[in-house]
Structures are given as C-alpha cells and as structure tokens.
C-alpha cells in the first residue's frame, strides 16, 4: 500500500538517514538543564523534531529527555519507540563511523541499525501514511529517547510527563516480533576484608570485568609470595592445575616477589552468559585452590554457575525459559570485596522474590546486597491485537511465516503498555549493533520503512 510512495521518496529517505547518522550522538555529560544527555544527543533530537515540523507533524521536546512527532486525532495513541543515542564507536572501522558513507549498497555508521536507521524508517513510514491520506482512528506518536544505551532515564522521565499509549512497538530488536522479555536485575554483593599478609601467598588486589552485562574475558590478581621458593612452587603447581582445569592464564613476575596473574576467558553478552567463558569464575577456582585467606569468598566465587543455582535463584518458565546469571565484575582491594551480577529472570519470578532468595543464601557470608538496576519483565499475550496485527503485517509483506519470539535482553518495549519489539533485524541476520562497521543496506532500510508504514497503519486504523 505504501511501497510506491517509499520508492518515489527513496532519495529523501536516504539523505535524511545519512544526515541523522552524521550527528555523533553518543550520550554525554549534561549540558545545561535542557540537555541532560549532552550536546550531541540533543542535536539528533533537534534534527528529528525539525524534520517532523517541516512535514506538518505536531512535535514536542519533553525537556530534552525525549521528544515526539505526532500525527492524527483520536483519544488514544499508538507509540513507536526509537532511540537516537548510540554507543561509542570503538576502533578499527573500514569507513569513518560518523560519515554515513554508502559502499556497495550499505550505509556504514554507528547507529545505522541501532537505532537511528530504524528511527528514520519509522518516521518515513509515518510520513507515507500521512501523505497517503488514509483515515485512521488513533493518533500515532514516534517517541524518540536519548538515553536508551545507558540508563533509560529518558523514558522514565517521558512517561512521568505523558500518558501511556494504547499499545505499540519498538524498532530496536528482531523480527518477526518479541512478545516476552525476561526481567533484568543487576546487583552488587560487597563486604569488608582485611588482607592477611602472614601466609606464603598474599593477595593484594583482584580486578575483572567492567560491566555487569558482559561476561568478563580478563581477570587479574596481584599477589606477593613470601619467598623465591614459594614463588617457584606456585608457578609449577599453577601450570599443572590450569592444565587440568583447562584455564588459560599468564603470569608475570615483578620486584619483591610480586606476581600478576592474568586469567583469560571469552566475552559474551550478559544475557547469554553460558556462551562465554568467565575469567572471574576461573580466577575464583584458582584462588580457592592456592590461597589460605578469604576461603569462604573463593568458595563462593568458585561455586558460581550461569543458572544461578549457587544463589538459590535458578528457575524457568514455559514462555521465557531459564533464569541466567552473569558474574560481570569482581573488584577486590585490601579492604573491600565487590561482586556485580546481571540476572535475567523468567516472567513468573519477581524482583522482590529474587532479592529474598539471595538474602537467604548470603546471610552467613557477610555480604551486603545492593540492587543497582531493575527492569520488570515484559509479556504481551500472543492473542492481543498488537501482536496479531503486527504478525499479519510481517507475513503479508515478507511472505514469510512468523513465529513470535522471547528474549533475555531488554528493549524499550517494556516501558509501555502492550508494547512489543518489531524488527529491524530479520531472522538469520548477523547482529552488528555495537560493533565496528555497523551498517544497514539501503534495501533493508527501505523494506523496514514499508513494514513500519503498514504496521503503524494497522495499529492506528481500528
């Protein structure tokens, strides 16, 4: 229905997408009270709102936290939730990450697929609907957040000011459609410690991992050996132990019998911790074996498992599957121990229930529990109109049959009532979000523009 319009406006769609991608909208420090996430994310929002305004939409900037572009009349509204902030570029790009150059039919840029490309596709989908003049019953709002990659303060703030929609989708994950997402909780377990320097081997510090939601691939321990002999024996025993346990490590010797032990694992996303090799866990096993000190602590770290059995929180349900637990960060100083976890829990568990279980497990250990972040699970019934309409659109446009899916990751969809994730990635596509050479093909961009135009129309017409 909108395909012809999209084909006729291809150049406009491409150049707007490139211009938006050329704004380096990595979230930054506040720049005045109206730019809570920095200058560049604000520029991206201003760009979108200006574009909306130029095409006759109602636009609103909600105090620099988020904004929206609105079309139509009617009491309730359909929400399309996208975000304009991006993660830092990292290094090693083939083409500059904020030039949005097109090579072999691909637009290369940070944000091309996550999520500025899809945001623009949704915008032109809405414009196609508007210019076609077909009647709709609900208003449509393209809501643009600026803090998705960090803390979601944009959506918290937005929905304190604005009413909830009738339903909607976020173009920020996978097709055909995601109707359930596990709950997410990240928390710290910490306690005091006093390094005992009387043993043969003294542990001064350990650091491993940087973010709760990534499987740590490196963990380093700083140790001191009481004598040369101790050090030599440790080197030999360690070699044997790590061979038997299949642990990759390296050891460097410094002055005064100081040693740096580096354990290597393999990184993976924190929602799929079983795909990685956790360097902190391996370090725990080594230190349990070789240290006399902090024995309980090392027992605890060594007992870690990705299903959360060691915390007594394991479980699963029919819809979202098993709980996953990632031990993301370990930091030990001479006075303090801190462990940070990221847990994805099935929709039949609750945050409070988990906290209670964890408290029960750690009572004897001296750990204090501090919840850092939590997101409620998402679940929209497969029978709901939002799900059935969107699946119908997907099947009609792509000609593929559509089985909706569930994930452990978190999308914006959970910030709204009756919200699901709908694209932009098609089944079998390699996930290149947050990686170097992030890109979207021109064909892909135009296909999702058509899908989003139809999706918006189906949700808004009745």
The token pair that represents 138 in the structure block: 């609900």
- What does the alpha-carbon distance between residue 70 and residue 60 come to, in Å, rounded to a whole number? 8
Stretch that binds Zn ion, among 171-179, 325-333, 354-362, 381-389 (CB under 5 A): 171-179
Q: Which is nearer to Zn ion, 85 or 458 (CB)?
A: 85
Stretch that binds Zn ion, among 167-175, 263-271, 301-309, 435-443 (CB under 5 A): 167-175
Stretch that binds Zn ion, among 62-70, 172-180, 293-301, 373-381 (CB under 5 A): 172-180
Q: Which is nearer to Zn ion, 319 or 433 (CB)?
A: 433
Q: Which is nearer to Zn ion, 242 or 407 (CB)?
A: 407
Residue among 115, 147, 174, 438 that touches Zn ion (CB under 5 A): 115
Closest contact distance (angstroms) between CB of 83 and Zn ion is 6
Q: List residues bridging with 139 in a β-sheet.
A: 77
Q: Which is nearer to Zn ion, 40 or 114 (CB)?
A: 114
E runs forming strands in 288-441: 316-317, 321-322, 324-332, 336-345, 368-375, 378-379, 405-407, 419-421, 424-425, 439-441
Q: How many residues does the chain have?
A: 462
| Nearby residues of 372 by Cβ (< 8 Å), 6 or more positions away | 186, 187, 188, 212, 340
The verdict on whether 85 is a catalytic residue reads yes
Instruction: Measure Cα distances from 15 to 9, 18, 111, 263, 359 in Å.
Output: 10, 5, 15, 47, 54
Closest contact distance (angstroms) between CB of 330 and Zn ion is 28
Which of 40, 85, 174, 342 is the catalytic position?
85
Stretch that binds Zn ion, among 115-123, 306-314, 352-360, 451-459 (CB under 5 A): 115-123
- For position 172 contacting Zn ion by CB under 5 A, the verdict is yes
Stretch that binds Zn ion, among 5-13, 114-122, 180-188, 254-262 (CB under 5 A): 114-122
Closest contact distance (angstroms) between CB of 107 and Zn ion is 17
- What does the alpha-carbon distance between residue 32 and residue 420 come to, in Å, rounded to a whole number? 34
Q: How many residues bind Zn ion (CB under 5 A)?
A: 3
Closest contact distance (angstroms) between CB of 95 and Zn ion is 21
Q: Are 286 and 248 in contact (CB under 8 A)?
A: no
Q: Which is nearer to Zn ion, 82 or 330 (CB)?
A: 82
- For position 317 contacting Zn ion by CB under 5 A, the verdict is no
Q: What is the dihedral of CA 44, 47, 53, 59, to 10 degrees?
A: 20
- For position 147 contacting Zn ion by CB under 5 A, the verdict is no
Q: Which is nearer to Zn ion, 115 or 294 (CB)?
A: 115
The token pair that represents 458 in the structure block: 């189906």
User: Which residue in 63, 32, 58 sits closest to 146, CA to CA?
Assistant: 63
Instruction: Measure Cα distances from 320 to 179, 406, 421 in Å.
Output: 10, 6, 15
| Nearby residues of 63 by Cβ (< 8 Å), 6 or more positions away | 33, 34, 36, 157, 161
Instruction: Measure Cα distances from 261 to 67, 169, 196, 280, 360 in Å.
Output: 49, 47, 19, 12, 33
Stretch that binds Zn ion, among 12-20, 50-58, 108-116, 318-326 (CB under 5 A): 108-116
Closest contact distance (angstroms) between CB of 325 and Zn ion is 23
Burial of 240 (0-12, 13-18, 19+ CB in 10 A): exposed
**Could you give the string, one character per residue 3-32, with x where binding to Zn ion holds by CB under 5 A and - elsewhere?**
------------------------------
Query: 60-96 burial, b for 16+ CB within 10 Å, e for fewer?
Result: bbbebbbbbbbbbeeeebbbbbbbbbbbebeeebeee
| Nearby residues of 460 by Cβ (< 8 Å), 6 or more positions away | 72, 78, 129, 136, 137, 138, 139, 140
Q: Which is nearer to Zn ion, 115 or 438 (CB)?
A: 115
Q: Which is nearer to Zn ion, 145 or 308 (CB)?
A: 145
Which of 42, 115, 148, 342 is the catalytic position?
148
Q: Which is nearer to Zn ion, 149 or 317 (CB)?
A: 149
- For position 114 contacting Zn ion by CB under 5 A, the verdict is yes
Q: Are 238 and 249 in contact (CB under 8 A)?
A: yes
Instruction: Tell me which residue has tokens 């803090």.
Output: 147
- For position 217 contacting Zn ion by CB under 5 A, the verdict is no
Closest contact distance (angstroms) between CB of 112 and Zn ion is 11
Q: Are 60 and 122 in contact (CB under 8 A)?
A: no
The verdict on whether 403 is a catalytic residue reads no
Burial of 454 (0-12, 13-18, 19+ CB in 10 A): buried
Chain residues binding Zn ion by CB under 5 A are 114-115, 172
Residues annotated as catalytic are 85, 148
């Amino acid at each position: 229905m909108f395909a012809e319009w999209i084909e006729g406006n291809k150049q406009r769609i491409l150049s707007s997408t490139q211009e938006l991608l050329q704004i380096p909208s990595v979230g930054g420090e506040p720049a005045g009270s109206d730019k809570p996430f920095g200058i560049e994310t604000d520029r991206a929002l201003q760009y979108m709102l200006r574009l909306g305004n130029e095409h006759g939409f109602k636009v609103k900037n909600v105090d620099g936290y988020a904004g929206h572009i609105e079309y139509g009349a009617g009491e309730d509204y359909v929400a399309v939730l996208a975000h304009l902030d991006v993660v830092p570029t990292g290094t090693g790009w083939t083409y500059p990450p904020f030039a949005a150059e097109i090579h072999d039919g691909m637009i290369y840029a940070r944000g091309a697929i996550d999520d500025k490309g899809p945001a623009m596709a949704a915008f032109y989908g809405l414009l196609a609907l508007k210019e076609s003049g077909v009647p709709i019953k609900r208003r449509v709002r393209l809501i643009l957040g600026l803090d998705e990659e960090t803390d979601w303060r944009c959506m918290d703030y937005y929905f304190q000011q604005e009413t909830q929609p009738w339903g909607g989708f976020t173009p920020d994950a996978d097709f055909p459609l995601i109707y359930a997402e596990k709950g997410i909780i990240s928390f710290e377990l910490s306690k005091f410690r006093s390094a005992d320097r009387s043993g043969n081997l003294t542990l001064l510090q350990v650091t491993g991992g940087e973010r709760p939601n990534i499987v740590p691939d490196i963990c380093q321990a700083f140790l001191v050996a009481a004598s040369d002999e101790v050090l030599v024996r440790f080197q030999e025993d360690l070699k044997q132990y790590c061979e038997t346990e299949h642990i990759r490590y390296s050891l460097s010797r410094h002055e005064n019998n100081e040693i740096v032990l580096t354990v290597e694992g393999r990184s993976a996303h924190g929602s799929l911790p079983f795909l990685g090799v956790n360097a902190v866990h391996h370090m725990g096993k080594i230190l349990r074996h070789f240290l006399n000190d902090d024995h309980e602590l090392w027992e605890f770290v060594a007992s870690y498992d990705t299903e959360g059995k060691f915390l007594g929180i394991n479980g699963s349900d029919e819809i979202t599957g098993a709980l996953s637990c990632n031990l993301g960060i370990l930091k030990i100083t001479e006075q303090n121990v801190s462990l940070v976890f990221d847990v994805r829990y099935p929709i039949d568990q609750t945050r409070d229930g988990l906290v209670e279980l964890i408290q029960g497990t750690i009572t004897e250990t001296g750990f204090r529990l501090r919840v850092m972040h939590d997101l409620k699970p998402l679940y929209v019934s497969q029978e709901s109109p939002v799900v059935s309409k969107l699946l119908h659109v997907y099947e009609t446009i792509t000609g593929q049959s559509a089985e909706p899916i569930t994930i452990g990751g978190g999308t914006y969809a959970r910030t709204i009532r009756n919200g699901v994730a709908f694209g932009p990635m098609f089944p079998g596509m390699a996930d290149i979000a947050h990686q170097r050479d992030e890109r979207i093909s021109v064909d892909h961009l135009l296909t999702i523009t058509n899908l989003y135009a139809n999706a918006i129309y189906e949700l808004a017409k009745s």
